[in-house]
Amino acid sequence: MKVWIDGAIVDGNEAKISVFDHGFLYGDGIFEGMRAYNGRLFRLEDHMRRLGVSARAIGLELPGGVDSVRDIVLTTVASTGAREAYIRLLVTRGQGPLGVDPTTCSDPRVICIVDTVELFPADKAASGVDLATSSLRRPSADVLDPRVKSLNYLNNVMAKLEARRRGVDDALLLNAAGNVTEATGANIFAVCRGVLTTPTATDGVLEGITRMTVIELADKLGIPVRERSMGRLDLLGASEAFLTGSGARIVPVRSLDTELIGEVTPGPVTTRLRAAFFEFAKLNGTPIPYADCAGV
């Protein structure tokens, strides 16, 4: 694992931040989770665009702007020599005195972690994960817009803890109206009466990069796709379902609240889209400049 922090790339166990960093104290910051496939940064520009929107949404200035942050990501990945990697990019409000006032922090901090991630065991990721509907609800946009990738993930953490205590892999979060939003770290899709269906962003979902890619690939493959409000019943009546995310990639869903979804997991649409996604990811993306970091 390599980490870019305070202008230097160091081993993960050497990376340190102040206990007075407001990202640590108050979750005051934003992040992006990205993947490198076959020596390319997948949809880097889309991640940078979303990071910029998140920064504006919370009034956070990106040090050096988006171009500087982009260079940090590419340089850090290149320093590892890894052609396949998971990247966690964070921008915190920076160090400041105790108290939630963000105006007391003058120097936002960029941290880029290059490592691997496994959200689910490999066998479950291949054969299907089990979900339970969380008793918690996704906060509405007037509380904190879920399209902002902030460091405030306690809602997701507590839903995940509830699911694990119930003996399943992940939780399904509903909004205050009872509509499906997403899992704790991934978007959700279901095949409903032959149509690939996913919750609309207005119901409180992150507009995921992998989600966007799957929608585009489905259109190219002639698979009808629709974004709409979904209830728990839509998932229980679906012929198949799957999760998507930069960390998860594409993971089939086997059951919800102990009820099996469909007759076979993964289903044919999931299998087809997963194959198309990995082929697309392998061939597309921003090349990582390994040669430029030979001395790092």
- β 259-260/249-256 pair status: antiparallel
**Taking the mean position of all CA atoms in its chain, how far away is CA 42?**
13
The CB-side HSE value for 235 (13 A sphere, CA atoms) comes to: 33
Q: Nearest to residue 109, comparing CAs of 69, 71, 53?
A: 69
Among the listed residues 276, 169, 155, the one whose alpha carbon sits nearest the alpha carbon of residue 214:
276
Residue 266 dihedral angles phi and psi, to the nearest 5°: -75, 150
Q: Which residues pair with 33 in a beta bridge?
A: 88
Burial of residue 38, with CB atoms counted within 10 A of its CB: 0-12 exposed, 13-18 middle, 19 or more buried = middle
Beta strand extents in the chain (DSSP E only): 2-5, 8-11, 29-37, 40-41, 85-92, 109-115, 129-137, 170-174, 180-183, 187-192, 195-199, 225-228, 240-245, 249-256, 259-260, 286-287
Residue tagged 């030979």 (tokens)? 294
The single-letter DSSP state of residue 285 is S
Active site residues: 149
Q: What are the φ and ψ backbone dihedral angles of 93, each rounded to 5 degrees?
A: -65, -25
Percentage helix, strand, coil for the chain under 3-state DSSP, each rounded to 5: 35, 30, 35
